[in-house]
Amino acid sequence: MHTGLNYNHLFDSAFFNAEFGLNNVASSLDGGPSKPMQRAALKILEPKLADQETTALRKVFSRKKNIMIKWLNQIGITCSKDIRGAFYLWGDNSRLPPPINQSKCFFEEALKHKVITVPGHIFNINQSNKHSSDSQFDNYIRFSFGPEEANIIIGLERIYKMVKSIN
């Protein structure tokens, strides 16, 4: 008996055919929450409560964003303070020493230090819908300030040590 559906199993046709029918999978994927859960969720959509929650979230994410910007700028990764939306920021790593001044190399080195970043060239899609490794984004890295603040600081400390070890 399975306790849940791992989406990877959807690509395993033998598992899919033996365990589930198309209708069962589709209903569990797009059926949404039950009516009692939807009714309970209506409370948080009341304007006063929604505004309170939104304000609280903005404060938390603003704090984490500012921590990240301060650290990255001190490390030598230039970040704009004018960030609007989401919980990501772009860092320009062109001032870092080679080879980590290229986003792909930075990404690979950061992985060795147990830090996940996203190299900028991943976001540059050329006309043939393939990721271009030679792009205007080669000196940019996307960082997320979505994780818990303590984890962000641990990651920033690791990035600091990584850059210092290459200097």
Q: CA–CA distance from 45 to each of 5, 31, 32, 48 (Å)?
A: 30, 21, 17, 8
- 77-108 pLDDT, tens digit per residue, is 999 777 777 889 999 999 999 999 999 999 99
The two tokens of residue 14 are 């033998």
158 or 10: whose pLDDT is higher? 158
Q: 3-class DSSP state for residue 119? A: strand
How do the domains of the chain map onto residue ranges?
Answer: 11-43, 53-166
Q: What is the pLDDT of residue 46?
A: 87
Low-confidence winner among 31-35, 48-52, 55-59, 100-104 (lowest mean pLDDT): 31-35
Domain 53-166: CATH superfamily, name plus number = Aspartate Aminotransferase, domain 1 (3.90.1150.10)
Region 64-74: what's the mean pLDDT? 96
The Cα angle at residue 65 between residues 77 and 134, in degrees rounded to 5 = 40
1 pLDDT above the threshold of 60: no
